[in-house]
Structure 1
Amino acid sequence: MYQTWTFGHRVNTRIFLNTLLLLLIMLMFTPSTSLAEDATLTAEEVFLDVLINEQRKGTVIILRKDDRLFVGARDLQLWRLRLPNTNPLTFYGEDYYALDALAGLTFKFDPSTQMLALQVPPRLFEATFLNAQEINFSALSPPSPGGFINYRVSANHAKGLTNSTGMLDLVGFGGWGSAQTRILGLDLNKQARAIRLESTWTRDEPMQLTRLRFGDTISGASSWGGVVRFGGIQWATDFSLQPGFVTFPLPGISGEAALPSTVELYVDNLLRMRREVPSGPFSIQDLPVINGQGDAILVVRDIMGNEQVITQPFITSSRVLKQGLQDYSYELGFVRRNFGVDSNNYGRPMAVGTHRLGFTKHFTGEIHGELLGNQQSVGLGGVLLSPVAGVLAGSLAMSHSKKGIGGLLGLGFQRQSGSFSIGANTQLASQNFAKLGLQPEKIAPRHISQMIVKMASSVNGAFALNYTQQVFRELEEHRSISGTYARKVGSLGNLRASVTRYLNGEAKTILGLNFSMNLELGNRTNANINMSANKSHKNVNLQLNQRMPARGGFGYRLVPGLGDSDRREAEVSLQNGVGNYSLAAAQSQGQTAFRGSASGGVAFLGGSSFFSRSITDSFAVVQVPGYPNVGIYAENQLSTHTNAKGNALLTSLRPYQKNSVRIEQSDIPLDAQIDTLQLDAVPYFRSGLVLKFPVKRSRGALLSVVLDNGEPLPVGAQVEIINENILENELFPTGMRGEVYLTGLAMNNRLRAIWREQSCEFALPFPETTDPLPHLGTYICVGVEP
């Protein structure tokens, strides 16, 4: 008996312990449910009017529990307050946070008015981030297949001889990129020849900021390497593919606002930005500043009139890349020789690479290498942005060639602060150093140094002092120091004085004085007077100009000889929609010369050809099919009109930017159906696209419809033009007296009227007419069904 009880007692204890452990585990994994149940049963709901920093926020639900106030997470987020890092109180599935968990927040509760006033420091609000630079990169319009030809011819006659030159620029483009060939024609001393300048295929990738070229182009630049023309392939970054893209790090400025405020940003005492900010901390990134050092001043003015001023110095340089940004150029091909003289003269094979990387916002590193047959060069470079010293730069390179092993060292610094700037750079090279652009038989200069100091003032003018030293191995050393001073002389003109002292060989000093004055004599006419003097002669130059109108017209230029100069010139110019033309005559020292020139272009796009002025940028063919003489506006400026077919050539579009193009509505007949009056063009560089405006003749007419019994078609009945080729025909409502207005009519039409589950049909001819709103008369709708 005793043993059985003992056994049973042991069994009950084990069950009890297991049950207790299970309950504890369940409690551990379900805390929120338990709290929710407790909060639902014990928390008190109150509706309170809330003020935050004396700004009314409306009426919200507040929980009161154990003499503590809890606010819903949604309301805190709506007020832009940061959620405290504490466990929330859950009430009917929503989280509430205690006000006393927000460190620094104070509140006052008035039971009599049911008002809750909160005083919140700015740091408890969510931060606001602003960008002072607006980047408006638009998606590119797909290029249409096409091309254009530019030409320029000129002739000169002097001393009984006539020489002429011509330039032909052939460009084709499409979705595959663009291809260009330039040809120079010469007829000198009755010896005519044609020279191919360059032939290049280019493909741009604006989203990747890269450009691929195949053909004739120019190698990329580095801090110490040379630049040459070559024929081959090049892959490089090109930041101009996204206009407005900033490559260097821009400074930022931060502040706090207890109340909604207006912030004004001043850079070097110039207002650059004005924005509204809510309560809390804010940060303005990418301040609109330029190279150099200065001060950014932020004026914060809240709605109560309180004002605070934040001043922050900055230093920037375009020579430094943003952190993580890469700038590179890789080339493979053959060095071009005698460019402009020979068409197909290529020399040494070359492989060149340049790569720059922004390691931090203060330091950018560079590596550059060159491989040219039996010549190899490699080097490193870097630019450091220092708030104290300014911009520090250095480069170190070495080479191997037939001359032997050579080396190069370059150092430089630049500091610009307000109206004062100073800079210096020096480059030392050994005798055997070789690089791209330096002919193999040439010897590198031993030492090249330059130092420049500039001071500028809007009141006192600008002063610059420059020292240059060049030490050659096979030539005489060159050393000089020069100073210039320039200032505006009231409203009269500009004065410039200069002095240059050569310090090597026979030291000599050159003094110069120049005064220029520009007088506006009319809308397009001005006179320019330039007086200069030095030790050897005095010269007075008077020039009278009339500029050509932008849309076409005449202009001229007259230069009478004055002072020691007997040079006289006269030139007349004409500009129209298809070219530019000029004739000029000059006389000096008893000799007379004549010159004439003409330039223009021909574009091929959209199945049409257009004569135009020389095309230097991008362009578009605007199509308003069937509507001649419609005004075409680019950026709200009247540019051209459509021809008899409704087409027009629009030139001078900005590549990789949005160009707003619209048509003049008043030039389109009333019976036209216009879906839009404006289209945006974002073209590739020196490429074209077709802008087709969705304008068509509505072919509309008004008619009256009656039924078999003579009654008019009921109001609200719908009429459709039966077209078996369209799944869903357009429906036209019927008005009073059975009148209905239809569009899209053909010469012969079959119409169906539908109303109250009834229908009937009738035939409608539509004769050609010049009336924009014709009335076709009354028609009987027969065969009413059911």
Structure 2
Amino acid sequence: MSAISRGSLALCLSVSLVGAGQAQEVPTDPLVTAATEARGAQGLQLAVFINDANTDFVGTFEQLPDGSLTAKPDELEEVGIKPLKAAIRRDGSIHLNDLPGIEYHVVPETQSIYVVATDAARVPRKIDLDAERSERDRPKPTSSTGAVLNYTLYSSSNDLTDADIKPFQGISGGFDARFFSPLGTVNQSFTASLSDGELQGFKRLNTTWNYSDPERMITYNAGDFVTRSLPWTRSVYLGGLQVERNFALRSDLVTLPMPVVSGSAAVPSTLEVYSQNVKTYTSDIPAGPFELANLPVITGSGEAQVVIRDTLGRETRTTLPFYTASEQLAKGLIDFSAEVGFPRRNYGSESNDYASDVFGTATMRYGLANWLTLEGHAEGGADLLNGGIGATFPLGRCGATSLAAAGSQHDGQTGTLLNGSLELRYDDFSLYGRMQRSYGNYDDIASVSADNERIREQYSYYYPGSRTFSARMPRAVDQVSLSLPTLFSRSNINLSFTQIETEGGDKTRTASTSYSTSLWKNASFYASAFKDLDDSDSFGVYAGLSVSFDNDIYGSTGVDQNGKDIAGFAEVSKSATREEGSYGWNVRTSEGKTANRSAGGNYRSKYARVDGWVQQYGDAVRASGSFDGAIAVAGGGVFATNRIDDAFAVVDVGAANVEVRSRNNVVGHTNSSGRLIVPDLNSWDPNQIDIDPQNLPVDAVVRDTRTVVVPANSGGVVVDFHVKEAAAAALVGLTDAGGKPLDAGLLGRIDGSDATFVVGYDGEAFIEGLSRNNNVTVEFVNGQTCHTAFAYSAQPGTQVAIRNVVCQ
């Protein structure tokens, strides 16, 4: 089948059908296949019109001896007629007379079939609101070879008012090194400190190699990593191997089940879609039924509006309430993770404390339907077996719920776990509840591999008087939070309650509330309070007023009470941005039982961010500062820059002092070698980088001033804008024999070569590939030509201009 326009079809067969099922005598078509002739049927190709609207498709049909038509189901579906399974015959075809809501007749003069169909008999036109984003030509992820070292150096003093204590305390640092290439990225992070001239306190954190396959959306990790978890399972640190689905590798992929809207347009119309009162899509649609997919909505509840406007301006509005939860998956999507390794303990305080037993885990989520997501989890090792299943599904337009059950066996002891959660939202009201219970001796990797002795010491220090410590899941967890509007506009109140009972029988119950309201355009009031229901001395109240001003300046004042201590505070601050040369500052005072005053500032240079502050707490005064930056090696250069938390690019322009922009924000200007590092790109996302050609040399030639790159694996990419000196080029002013400039748009060429050029306004043409002596031919619209010759002499750093060249 092929798309056509009306009147462009030339066929070898004439057909005359006046009504459905009415047979007419037609001439024999020599192109009809032998199989078709054997059945006494003739093959037809007809332009399809439905309800007098041209579908721009040609359909393949067969005319039976009685004059009626048959077609294959997929053929009918493509032209817009719904094929019914019940109407499919043994030979796989469908008789059009067997389709309810269908009438048709063929016009032999135009070789067309006119179908009158109800909406129920038509295939809705599929409109994917995300098609433009998902089908666009995305650049392939790329990675150069190089390295990055992020560092944070921190130093603080002792009490500066105490002359008996040495004021300088030393320097501590956190370091994160990455080595990247097309084969993946190796990460190594550690902390260290320098005190009294000696290096000490070295702690290894993570050592990991990872590689991602964006086509299959899979990431492979080897080394130290955190296992994947579900709301009813616990993550652990492992040293080993991990394979996981990574939807973040495809930023264009919609993983949530999006609502679908269907409707019908009586005539060709304009379709508009509004999500949360913001227009998100507009397009022209033909007459007939339609179906919208992938509405651009956010998680939670809301409304989408579909507006159909015809040529007379008449509108039809359809409102669609929706609710989407982040735990749900669209139908057919699979999310998974599988890990095996040794549990790591005392992370951050020990460099190499791994359990001696090997454990493995597997986690999966599957979108069985848009309304049902199934979950599964299993783990085992060291005589441990643990497994469970769960499900997440919506509750109409108001919310979603999830249920899960799991069981375990370890050292002859068994246990079970039940978990359920509920989310409800309607207008400005929202409710969240969670309940979890464990029975028997429920174990998982976290409890079996825990360093119980060390954790018991810490637990008894922070919770004196507790009866028993256990690394197992709590016996009971109950959480409830409620958010509702108040009588005042632009304000809401939140209430929450949490109750936890440990495996050893200890209970904690905490209640909290918060309130916030907008007073005027730039000011708001907020208040919060919490209470430990089992400890009369454990409570707190916090209330204040905040005001935002121009130039990113923010101020707040209020009162803070924690237990029996109460203090008033005031603060004024200015936030720094990510742009080079930005700065920020903060001044704060808290007056109560113990005075707490501080002042600080920060500055972001081209090479690093510097922070410094002074604090008075009681009678003690301390000063501290930090230096935060990175060193990157890529593209044949070494760059000192601000911290690189994800990906970066080395932009090579080939000229100094050229402005570079990333996502329409000025990053900086190229150095003397014509390069600049852009430190804040996002891996696996399209990142737009532009240059301003204003400061390029006048004799420079640049292929593009804008490019889009997709960095891979938190690495670096080299962006070369291919700026070069013009290859023997000049601006040549061409005139006719009378001195009149040649017309704009004429095409010319240099004789003896393939080089061509276009004449611009005032007869000026930018011609490249010139030699010392040049012969040029220009072709006029009427096919005639003119010829000229001129000499050329290069003048480096300037634009050569050759005026009044006569072409005749």
User: Shorter chain as normaliser: what TM range?
Assistant: 0.7 to 0.9
- CA deviation profile, 1:126-181 (whole Å, cap 9, x unmatched): 63222234534723242111111111111011233614211222111111011111
- The correspondence for 1:127, drawn from 109, 115, 124, is 124
Once residues 606 and 27 of structure 1 are traced to their aligned partners in structure 2, the CA distance between those partners, rounded to angstroms, is: 66
Amino acid at match of 1:658: P
What's 1:516 paired with? Answer: 545
Once residues 250 and 474 of structure 2 are traced to their aligned partners in structure 1, the CA distance between those partners, rounded to angstroms, is: 39
Q: Is the 8 A contact 2:328 2:393 kept in 1?
A: yes
Q: Is the 8 A contact 2:258 2:295 kept in 1?
A: yes
Alignment of 1:252-401 (within 5 A): 252-267=260-275, 271-347=279-355, 348-387=357-396, 390-401=399-410
CA change 1:314–1:677 in 2 (3 A) is closer
CA change 1:681–1:702 in 2 (3 A) is closer
Alignment of 1:137-216 (within 5 A): 138-159=138-159, 160=165, 162-187=169-194, 192-216=200-224
1:483 equivalent in alignment to 2:513: yes
CA change 1:534–1:486 in 2 (3 A) is farther
- CA deviation profile, 1:748-771 (whole Å, cap 9, x unmatched): x8999999xxxxxx9x99677444
CA change 1:695–1:272 in 2 (3 A) is closer
Once residues 449 and 634 of structure 1 are traced to their aligned partners in structure 2, the CA distance between those partners, rounded to angstroms, is: 46
CA change 1:600–1:288 in 2 (3 A) is same
What's 1:18 paired with? Answer: none
- CA deviation profile, 1:571-629 (whole Å, cap 9, x unmatched): 1222110001122110011001110111211111111111111111211111123x222
The structural deviation recorded for 1:667 is: 1.4
- CA deviation profile, 1:489-540 (whole Å, cap 9, x unmatched): 3346333344545444x557846241221241x4243333343356734433
Q: Is the 8 A contact 1:355 1:368 kept in 2?
A: yes
2:445 aligned counterpart, secondary structure: coil
Q: Is the 8 A contact 2:431 2:481 kept in 1?
A: yes
1:379 aligned counterpart, secondary structure: strand
What's 1:416 paired with? Answer: 425
1:483 aligned counterpart, secondary structure: strand
Once residues 390 and 749 of structure 2 are traced to their aligned partners in structure 1, the CA distance between those partners, rounded to angstroms, is: 81
1:222 equivalent in alignment to 2:230: yes
The structural deviation recorded for 1:301 is: 2.5
What's 1:466 paired with? Answer: 496
Once residues 81 and 50 of structure 2 are traced to their aligned partners in structure 1, the CA distance between those partners, rounded to angstroms, is: 18
Alignment of 1:526-675 (within 5 A): 526-533=554-561, 536-548=564-576, 550-562=579-591, 566-625=595-654, 627-675=655-703
Once residues 480 and 274 of structure 2 are traced to their aligned partners in structure 1, the CA distance between those partners, rounded to angstroms, is: 32
What's 2:799 paired with? Answer: 772
The structural deviation recorded for 1:304 is: 2.3
Show structure 1 runs of 5+ residues with no match.
1-24, 40-49, 59-68, 87-96, 110-115, 705-714, 721-727, 756-761, 779-786
| Two-structure CA RMSD over aligned residues (Å) | 4.5
1:495 equivalent in alignment to 2:525: yes
Once residues 606 and 255 of structure 2 are traced to their aligned partners in structure 1, the CA distance between those partners, rounded to angstroms, is: 39
Q: Is the 8 A contact 1:152 1:599 kept in 2?
A: yes
- CA deviation profile, 1:262-300 (whole Å, cap 9, x unmatched): 333344555444333221101111223333444444332
Amino acid at match of 1:613: N
CA change 1:590–1:462 in 2 (3 A) is same
Q: Is the 8 A contact 2:544 2:556 kept in 1?
A: no
State the aligned residue count. 681
Structure 1, 370-379 or 212-221: larger mean CA deviation: 370-379
CA change 1:371–1:383 in 2 (3 A) is same
What's 1:14 paired with? Answer: none
Q: Is the 8 A contact 2:484 2:492 kept in 1?
A: yes
Structure 1, 592-601 or 158-167: larger mean CA deviation: 158-167
- The correspondence for 1:239, drawn from 231, 247, 262, is 247
1:666 aligned counterpart, secondary structure: helix
- CA deviation profile, 1:517-573 (whole Å, cap 9, x unmatched): 1241x4243333343356734433222223335221443222234455521111122
CA change 1:568–1:164 in 2 (3 A) is same
Amino acid at match of 1:254: S
Identity of aligned residues (%): 23
Q: Is the 8 A contact 1:203 1:213 kept in 2?
A: yes
1:346 aligned counterpart, secondary structure: coil
Structure 1, 229-238 or 218-227: larger mean CA deviation: 218-227
Amino acid at match of 1:597: S
The structural deviation recorded for 1:27 is: 11
Once residues 220 and 540 of structure 2 are traced to their aligned partners in structure 1, the CA distance between those partners, rounded to angstroms, is: 49
CA change 1:487–1:691 in 2 (3 A) is same
The structural deviation recorded for 1:680 is: 1.5
Q: Is the 8 A contact 2:309 2:316 kept in 1?
A: yes
Once residues 440 and 118 of structure 1 are traced to their aligned partners in structure 2, the CA distance between those partners, rounded to angstroms, is: 76
Amino acid at match of 2:269: S
Once residues 43 and 583 of structure 2 are traced to their aligned partners in structure 1, the CA distance between those partners, rounded to angstroms, is: 91
1:437 aligned counterpart, secondary structure: helix
Amino acid at match of 1:173: F
CA change 1:453–1:403 in 2 (3 A) is farther
Once residues 383 and 83 of structure 2 are traced to their aligned partners in structure 1, the CA distance between those partners, rounded to angstroms, is: 68
CA change 1:102–1:558 in 2 (3 A) is same
Q: Is the 8 A contact 2:749 2:756 kept in 1?
A: no
Q: Is the 8 A contact 1:261 1:301 kept in 2?
A: yes
Once residues 82 and 444 of structure 2 are traced to their aligned partners in structure 1, the CA distance between those partners, rounded to angstroms, is: 63
Q: Is the 8 A contact 2:748 2:756 kept in 1?
A: no
What's 1:677 paired with? Answer: 705
2:358 aligned counterpart, secondary structure: strand
Once residues 497 and 148 of structure 1 are traced to their aligned partners in structure 2, the CA distance between those partners, rounded to angstroms, is: 43
Amino acid at match of 1:329: S
- CA deviation profile, 1:222-263 (whole Å, cap 9, x unmatched): 233221112111100111111243222111110011012233
CA change 1:644–1:402 in 2 (3 A) is same
1:231 aligned counterpart, secondary structure: strand
Larger Rg belongs to: 1
1:129 aligned counterpart, secondary structure: strand
Amino acid at match of 2:407: M
What's 2:3 paired with? Answer: none
1:224 aligned counterpart, secondary structure: coil
What's 1:693 paired with? Answer: 721
Q: Is the 8 A contact 2:152 2:628 kept in 1?
A: yes
The structural deviation recorded for 1:384 is: 2.9
Q: Could you state the TM-score of these two structures normalised by the residue count of structure 2? A: 0.74
CA change 1:496–1:535 in 2 (3 A) is farther
